[in-house]
Chain A
Amino acid sequence: MTALSLALPSRFQPGRIAIWLLLLAGGLVMITPLLFMFSTSLKDASEVYDLRLVPAHPTLDNYVTVLSDGRFLRWFGNSLGIATAVTLSNVFFDSLVGYTLAKFRFRGRYIVFLAILSTLMIPTEMLVIPWYVMARNFGWLDTYWGIMFPGMMTAFGTFLMKQFFETVPDDFLEAARVDGLNEFSIFWRIAMPLVTPALSALAIFTFLSNWTAFIWPLIVTTSKELYTLPVGLSSFAVESQIQWELIMTGAALATLPTLTVFLVLQRYIVRGVVMAGLKG
């Protein structure tokens, strides 16, 4: 809120109201695709061409159809498990490296930092071919580990955590050292709890990017049981051709979890994304 808006209470300014209405209208346009996706997922095939937002005869039949053969549940579980495991790994390792680079003084520290940071310049797409070769040689193709291994640590997360650990006062750590805690305990029990906002930001960002990840899971998996939700949905949509109500139901299933979590944790998620965006 800028000082300008304090000059007059906003409700007395017609220009303000017009802008407010425009902003609201724009926001509603933004969620139109989501509304129609959900609405169509509740319509039966004969109603799909009726483009009213509220279905005349809402039904959950599409959800029953899509979920009945178990594929979607499997993909859903795959995505959930993979995104969770990768997030946990990032929260642990990115923090550990960020902490070490921020709080330890040793020769080579700066080189390690620069080396990790330099990997940010390499686009993932450049690495997919070598990763594919690696996965093929080690027998990781078409395995969960094959989907997960490239993302277990990220330079972005390390950099984010380093920034935050630098704000932790050395006195805290020194006091713990005097108390006889070993270095790992100092990291885990003293430093980590002091940066929980950064940890949640990192966790939100990592989870979201793994939940929506497409190109690498598409490349590394060939059997349908191992598809993640986005890849599964894509293959399902191609199969179902023009059955738009079923495609919309699949899309809704892929979108529902993140939207639900957002509605519950809105404040933390917006703050986390801003933090990850600006500090990272």
Chain B
Amino acid sequence: MSMPIQQETSGGRFWGGLSLRRKQVVWAWTFLAVPILFYALIRFYPTVEAFYLSTTNWNLFSKPGFVGLANFQRLWADVVFWQVFRNTVLYLAIGTPVSLILAFTIAYHLDRVRFLHGFIRALYFLPFLTTAAAMAWVWRWFYQPVPIGMINDLLSSFGLPQQPFLRSTSQALPSVLAPAIWAGLGFQVVIFLAGLRAIPNTYYEAARIDGVSNLTILRRITIPLLKPTIIFLVVFSSIGFLRIFDQVYNMTSGDPGGPLNATKPLVLMIYQTAFSSFEMGYAAAQTVVLFLVLLAVSFLQLRLLRDR
């Protein structure tokens, strides 16, 4: 890149007449021009359009007609929607606590390990780097009946009863959730480890001099000082579980959403309504619900965790 030395008078009369401050302003808006266009066209306009479409009966082939809140009324009366809503909440309500408690326990102990620390951390972290769509098939294979599925093979070798996993209405949802927890765990462990490292040693030294027990140190020092990390991970992973899709789509591809919709999350319902049935207006209304759920959950979590 060439670098002409700019003098106050070199860039034409207009440019030369500007003060340094004014020039800065011109530069700033020049840098922002393309990004502002991008955010306006690819983020803000589509957001407004999603809200607009949620009030229409558009099906991709006709002209959109305004129907007011009819899509939301239809959702309210839709039995499948309530099943889907329940599933989505379950993914969150099981996924977030289970994965955070596991990750914290692992990180808390791993933090004190020196021997092969990096190696063990890598074992936990590796699944985070995998492709969800690919690993869903590996897990699906694990869940198969004997003689194919590894888990049932193990069960039968111990004389335990076979489990239907993805074929059962009660086991399918946890079976789909397991690979999602598995894949996200390494990220949470690594973030917790960083949080634990950031706690100054002096706190622990002072506690040790006072003869405080390990459990008290954990409850009174470690967890309170980790609060920002915990808040971040709770909100971040909750959003992830509420938006679960890749695993469900791939693990139940023969029967999307599992037996009797037992695993179907909101995003899969949106996908099917929009891109299998082409009911764009109805699907847009579902995305508005997803947005409101995400907003409400994040807001509630931030309020509750900050105040405690």
Contacts and interface: CB of A to CB of B under 8 A. Distances in A.
Q: Interface residue tally of chain A, by bracket?
A: 35 or more
B35 A93 contact: yes
Contacts of B110: 23
A208 B6 contact: no
B266 to A, nearest CB: 8
Contacts of A134: 46
Given A23-B113, A230-B134, A274 B204 contact: no
Contact of B267 (A125, A127, A131, A274): A125
A149 interface: yes
Contacts of A274: 190-191, 194
A181 B7 CA distance: 10
B249 A214 contact: yes
B69 to A, nearest CB: 18
Interface string B128-171: 11111111011101100001101001000000000000000000
B34 interface: yes
Contacts of B137: 233, 237, 247-248, 250-251
B70 interface: no
B43 interface: yes
A126 interface: yes
A4 B208 contact: yes
B13 interface: no
A50 B229 CA distance: 44
Contacts of B208: 3-4, 7
Which of B138, B190, B208 has most chain A Cβ within 10 Å? B138
A85 B182 CA distance: 29
A129 B112 contact: no
B301 to A, nearest CB: 14
A34 B126 contact: yes
Interface string B1-32: 10111110000000000000001110111011
Nearest to B34: A93
Contacts of A132: 274-275
Contact of B53 (A36, A130, A214): A130
A129 B34 CA distance: 23
Interface of A: 1-5, 7, 10, 16, 19-20, 22-24, 26-28, 30-31, 33-34, 36-37, 40, 48-49, 51, 93, 96-97, 99-100, 104-107, 109, 112, 115-116, 119, 121-134, 149-150, 152-153, 155, 158, 180-185, 187-189, 208, 211-212, 214-215, 218-219, 229-231, 233-234, 237-238, 242, 244, 247-248, 250-251, 254-255, 258-259, 262, 266, 269-270, 273-274, 277-278
18 contacts: A3-B205, A23-B106, A27-B120, A30-B127, A31-B127, A104-B31, A109-B28, A126-B290, A127-B43, A133-B49, A184-B31, A185-B3, A218-B249, A230-B134, A234-B249, A251-B137, A270-B190, A277-B236
A252 B38 CA distance: 36
A10 B111 CA distance: 13
Nearest to B242: A123
Contacts of B116: 24
Which of B44, B129, B283, B295 has most chain A Cβ within 10 Å? B129
B284 A33 contact: no
Interface string B247-278: 00110011000000000000100110011000
A218 B114 CA distance: 44
Interface in B21-65: 23-25, 27-29, 31-32, 34-36, 38-39, 42-47, 49-50, 53
Nearest to A230: B133
Given A33-B135, A248-B141, A123 B243 contact: yes
A132 B53 CA distance: 13
Given A106-B24, A274-B190, A27 B133 contact: no
Nearest to B23: A183
A250 B42 contact: no
A34 B124 CA distance: 12
Contacts of A49: 147-148
Given A10-B114, A123-B291, A130 B35 contact: no
Nearest to B146: A49
A225 B284 CA distance: 29
B85 to A, nearest CB: 15
Contacts of A150: 42
A10 B115 contact: yes
Which of A5, A130, A208 has most chain B Cβ within 10 Å? A130
A129 B245 contact: no
A16 B253 CA distance: 45
Given A10-B114, A125-B267, A130 B49 contact: yes
Which of B123, B128, B204, B236 has most chain A Cβ within 10 Å? B123
Given A23-B113, A97-B35, A130-B53, A104 B27 contact: yes
Interface in B271-303: 271, 274-275, 280, 283-284, 287-288, 290-291, 294-295
